[in-house]
A and B are shown apart, each in its own frame.
Chain A
């Protein structure tokens, strides 16, 4: 893995506390937010965040599981993917 940046996407109905819920997990896992955007994808609320892992003990699976749990709490879909998948697909 070349970088330690991940793209976190939150897709679903906007409700109070989503941003707080997601950012709390990021802070717990030592993930620094380097970009955060909101947009609509076919009328569905979408939040995109780019996070950089600072902690050396970071375990991706645990982070993803925690995010899935937060997603279930707020009834939204949360994905955590390494940035390379987006870079590779769209950029030469």
Chain B
């Protein structure tokens, strides 16, 4: 029989009951040919290029959704880091560029456009600095623009001047968007070893080594993995790893097929499938619950890092078997606000910022969507970033920080973003100062690549 009833029903159930979806189809567009010293002409160039390339993106993705009956939740765009594309413009800030990106995103109907970004892991050019300083205004005056900054790399070290600057920019962004629970910070992420082809927001940008235009897809499915594990009867950890691998394989195959169909219909090169377990606030669609399904009473207790390591590795193995073009972040995301299980763990006192930091050593990204008290100082935010960058640089992996210093809120309060961004309980940070350390500036050198103990 060419398709068994079980196979058909398994797929249907993944979508109906377990929240399987293609989280995003993201079109990467190079803006390198748009440069012009006159910012108005530059803005005109990028608007025309983005709208020209992406005008059929949403319609095509919707047609593929219909064809396969698999939801594609978000259609998005990533562009060349604006600090590079707009560097020739000598204007003191790049806010008008962000507004142009926002307008283009609205015109083609995508919900986010990423790439208000700079790559400053080793040093900052004049244009990089102007971009970084434009971020708070840019994010408070636009709706769909996402910003990311690469602050560190395993071959460059950590740019501590930029880390210090970004602590301030995150604070300012929170203040300028205070009336909406500092939502600007949910659209701003800083990285170590940022990938060039990540389709997920807020960190998506179109890397400088990428083609003119590509389609990258982000596939998700924590709910599917969670349900699959809960169906196992008294499994060993080996059985659990095997089940996650198989499930990740199936999810990735489906994502690759749909993404290739979109890219073929648009006549645009296919880039990568990013198989990342990205939780949503929906019940069961939770990475924390997967860890709990392995036998932990609450996510965050002792054993959580080991369980997450198993999960992250098994997801990568299944994904790598399923597609020859796996890229982006690929692994498990551990955002707090977007995951009902994580929120519960924080509220129950099981999960702390320190434990989340440990978990980022083995997850695919980092400290994500974590609200901290509004009176947290810029230097403390920079110090949290520095810790996270160090983990990424030393372990040669991507790490990231997306913190929300929620203006006017203290530990015990929570911030509400709604939709996929969810809500975040405000978490405690250390009361001791890191100010002197951050003030020193300079660069933490690139780590030695041998003597790896």
B5:A85 contact, CB within 8 angstroms = no
Alpha-carbon gap, A73 to B3, bound state (A): 29
A48:B254 contact, CB within 8 angstroms = no
B253:A7 contact, CB within 8 angstroms = no
B232 at the interface (CB under 8 A from A): no
A88:B8 contact, CB within 8 angstroms = no
Q: Which of chain A's residues has its CB closest to B251's CB?
A: A89
Across the interface, which residues of B come within 8 angstroms of A64, CB to CB?
66
A60:B70 contact, CB within 8 angstroms = no
Tell me whether A86 and B3 are in contact in the complex, defined as CB-CB below 8 angstroms, given that A60-B67, A79-B12 are known contacts: yes
B250 at the interface (CB under 8 A from A): yes
A85:B9 contact, CB within 8 angstroms = no
A7:B8 contact, CB within 8 angstroms = yes
A1 at the interface (CB under 8 A from B): yes
Alpha-carbon gap, A86 to B254, bound state (A): 8
B7 at the interface (CB under 8 A from A): yes
Minimum Cβ distance to chain A for residue B262 (Å): 13
B412 at the interface (CB under 8 A from A): no
Across the interface, which residues of A come within 8 angstroms of B257, CB to CB?
84-85, 88
Interface size on A, residues (CB 8 A): 26
Q: Which of B244-297 contact A (CB under 8 A)?
A: 250, 253-254, 256-258, 261
Across the interface, which residues of A come within 8 angstroms of B8, CB to CB?
7, 9, 48, 86
User: What band does the interface of chain B fall in when counting residues whose beta carbon is under 8 Å from A?
Assistant: 20 to 34
Total CB contacts across the A-B interface at under 8 A: 65
A88:B69 contact, CB within 8 angstroms = no
Across the interface, which residues of A come within 8 angstroms of B66, CB to CB?
60-61, 64
Across the interface, which residues of A come within 8 angstroms of B67, CB to CB?
1, 60, 81-82
B45 at the interface (CB under 8 A from A): no
B253:A89 contact, CB within 8 angstroms = yes
Across the interface, which residues of A come within 8 angstroms of B10, CB to CB?
90
Q: Which of chain B's residues has its CB closest to A79's CB?
A: B69
B11 at the interface (CB under 8 A from A): yes
Tell me whether A83 and B12 are in contact in the complex, defined as CB-CB below 8 angstroms, given that A88-B253, A88-B254 are known contacts: no
Which of A61, A64, A81, A89: most chain B CB closer than 10 A?
Answer: A89
Alpha-carbon gap, A10 to B258, bound state (A): 23
Secondary structure type dominating chain B contacts: helix
Alpha-carbon gap, A80 to B5, bound state (A): 15
Q: Which of B1-56 contact A (CB under 8 A)?
A: 2-3, 5, 7-13, 16
B68 at the interface (CB under 8 A from A): yes
Minimum Cβ distance to chain B for residue A49 (Å): 10
A59-74 CB mask vs B (1 if < 8 Å, else 0) is 0110010000000000
Alpha-carbon gap, A41 to B11, bound state (A): 13
Minimum Cβ distance to chain A for residue B353 (Å): 38
B13:A41 contact, CB within 8 angstroms = yes
Across the interface, which residues of B come within 8 angstroms of A79, CB to CB?
12, 69
A50:B253 contact, CB within 8 angstroms = no
Tell me whether A39 and B3 are in contact in the complex, defined as CB-CB below 8 angstroms, given that A88-B254, A89-B250 are known contacts: no
A84:B68 contact, CB within 8 angstroms = yes
Q: Which of chain B's residues has its CB closest to A50's CB?
A: B3
A86:B7 contact, CB within 8 angstroms = yes
A85:B3 contact, CB within 8 angstroms = no
Across the interface, which residues of B come within 8 angstroms of A85, CB to CB?
11, 68-70, 254, 257-258
Tell me whether A11 and B253 are in contact in the complex, defined as CB-CB below 8 angstroms, given that A1-B67, A80-B69 are known contacts: no
Q: Determine which of B5, B7, B12, B250 lies in contact with A11 in the assembled complex, contact meaning CB atoms within 8 Å.
A: B12
Across the interface, which residues of B come within 8 angstroms of A50, CB to CB?
3
B5:A48 contact, CB within 8 angstroms = yes
B9:A81 contact, CB within 8 angstroms = no
Alpha-carbon gap, A60 to B391, bound state (A): 50
Minimum Cβ distance to chain A for residue B383 (Å): 45
Alpha-carbon gap, A61 to B70, bound state (A): 14
Alpha-carbon gap, A17 to B85, bound state (A): 62
Chosen A-B contacts, 21 in total, with CB atoms closer than 8 Å, are A1-B67, A1-B261, A7-B3, A9-B9, A9-B12, A39-B5, A46-B5, A46-B9, A48-B9, A60-B67, A80-B69, A81-B67, A85-B68, A85-B69, A85-B257, A87-B3, A88-B254, A88-B256, A89-B254, A90-B3, A90-B11
Given contacts A84-B257, A85-B70, 14 further A-B contacts (CB under 8 A): A9-B9, A39-B5, A39-B9, A48-B8, A48-B9, A61-B66, A77-B16, A81-B70, A83-B3, A85-B258, A88-B253, A89-B7, A89-B254, A90-B10
10 tightest A-B CB contacts, nearest first: A81-B69, A85-B68, A88-B257, A90-B7, A89-B250, A82-B67, A89-B254, A88-B253, A39-B5, A89-B253
